[in-house]
Amino acid sequence: MRTVRVINRTRDVVLADRAELADNLWTRFMGLMGRTELPPGGGLVLKPGGGIHMWFMRMPLDVIHVDKRDRVTHVLRGIKPWRFGPLFVGGKIAVELAVGTAQTTQIGDQIDVEQVPGPA
C-alpha cells in the first residue's frame, strides 16, 4: 500500500505521518484486520470513505470521516473491536487512527492527505 501523511490543517496537527492508503476493494476490506497495534504515527486512510467495520480487529480505533470538501463530518472515538461503525454516505475518506489521536479533532476541521515520498 502507498504511504500518506494525514494533517489536521485547522489545528496544525499531524494525525499520522505514515498512514497506509487503502483505495481498492481488497485493501479497503482487509484494512487493519488482525493487527494488534498501530506503529507510532501510523494509521489507515480508506478511500472512498463511508462505513467501517471492526470485525477481526484486535484494538480500538479513533475514526475520522471527511467529506469531499476535506472537512470532518464525524469523529468516532475509541470504537471497539467486533462492531460496525455507522455508514456515512458520500464521504471522501475515513481515517483510522490509534485511540486518542483524534482527541482534538472536531467536526468542520480541514483534513489534508499528502503523498509521502518513497525511497529513491
d(CA 6, CA 56): 25
* Best CA proximity match to 62, nearest among 88, 80, 48, 86: 80
Per-residue model confidence as pLDDT tens digits over 15-64: 999 999 999 999 998 999 989 999 999 999 999 998 888 989 999 999 99
Helices (H), the chain: 25-30
The residue ranges of every structural domain in the chain are: 2-115
In this prediction, residue 120 carries a pLDDT of 54
Per-residue model confidence as pLDDT tens digits over 84-100: 888 888 899 999 999 99
Q: Contact 32/44 with Cβ under 8 angstroms?
A: yes
Instruction: Tell me which architecture the domain covering 2-115 has in CATH.
Output: Sandwich (2.60)
- What predicted TM-score, i.e. pTM, was given to this entire model? 0.94
Average pLDDT over residues 103-120: 90
Average pLDDT over residues 4-17: 98
Grid coordinates of 49:
470513505
Helix (H, G, I), strand (E, B) or coil at 59: coil
